[in-house]
Amino acid sequence: MRALDVMSVPVVTVEPDTPAKRAAELLSEHGFTALPVVDDDRLVGIVTEADLIGDRIPADPRYRHEEQRGRCPGGMVAEVMTSPVTGMAPGADLSALARALLGARIRAMPIVDRARVVGIVTRGDIVRVFARSDSEIASDVFRHLTMYGGADRWQVEVRDGVVRIVDAFDDETARHVATVLAEAVPGVVSAHVSADAR
C-alpha cells in the first residue's frame, strides 16, 4: 500500500502570512491536527496544534512569573510554524510512512510531488485503513484477482485483515502476483496464497 492510497485530498493549506488565529480556526473546523504551509505552491513548513498552543495561553495573572510578562505569541503562521518540514512522495510505502510518523512523533505527513503538496496522511488515516471491515477487504481483493486471473479461479477469505487466497491452479508466479495484489489493498495485514488441494 502506498501513501496515495490513503492520503486525504484536496489538502487544506495555509501560507506563512496567514494569521495564526485563522490557522487555529481551520484546524478546529475540519478536525485536523496539522496544516501544511505553502509559499508559491511549495511546502515550506507545517503548523500543528502544538505550534498554535505554545505561548498563546496566558498564565493566570495571579501566578505569572516575571519572565512571562510581555511575551507576545506569534500573530502569523510564519512565526509559529515548524520549518523545515519533511514530506513524502505519493508512491511512498505506507509502512515507511507510518514508521516516519511514529519515529518523529508527529501526527501528519505532507505528501509532495516536487515540493508541491498533493495530499496529507495522518495517523487517523492509517487507523481508518485498518478499521475496514473484512467483507470490504475481501471484496476488493477478489475484484483485483478477478481482473488478473478470472472470477472462477480464486477463493478469498479475510479474518482480522489477514487474507487467505486459494488458487484453482498450482502456479508459483500467479501465487506471487496474487500476494502482491492482495497486500496492496487497504486494510490487508498480510496475504497467504495456496493452491487448491482438490
Cβ–Cβ under 8 Å, residues 150 and 179: no
Q: What is the pLDDT of residue 34?
A: 93
Structural domains of the chain, with CATH: 3-130 (3.10.580.10), 134-195 (3.30.1340.30)
Cβ–Cβ under 8 Å, residues 44 and 30: no
Residue 23: which pLDDT band, with cuts at 50, 70 and 90? very high
Q: Which residues make beta-bridge pairs with 113?
A: 116
pTM of the predicted structure, to 2 decimals: 0.74
Residue 165: which pLDDT band, with cuts at 50, 70 and 90? very high
Query: Which amino acid belongs to residue 106?
Result: I
Q: How far apart are CA 18 and CA 35, in angstroms?
A: 11
C-alpha cell at 86: 519533511
Per-residue pLDDT, averaged over 148-164, amounts to 93
Q: Over the stretch 50-83, which tens digit does the pLDDT of each residue have?
A: 888 866 566 666 665 555 544 445 689 999 999 8
Residue 141: which pLDDT band, with cuts at 50, 70 and 90? very high
Cβ–Cβ under 8 Å, residues 166 and 186: no
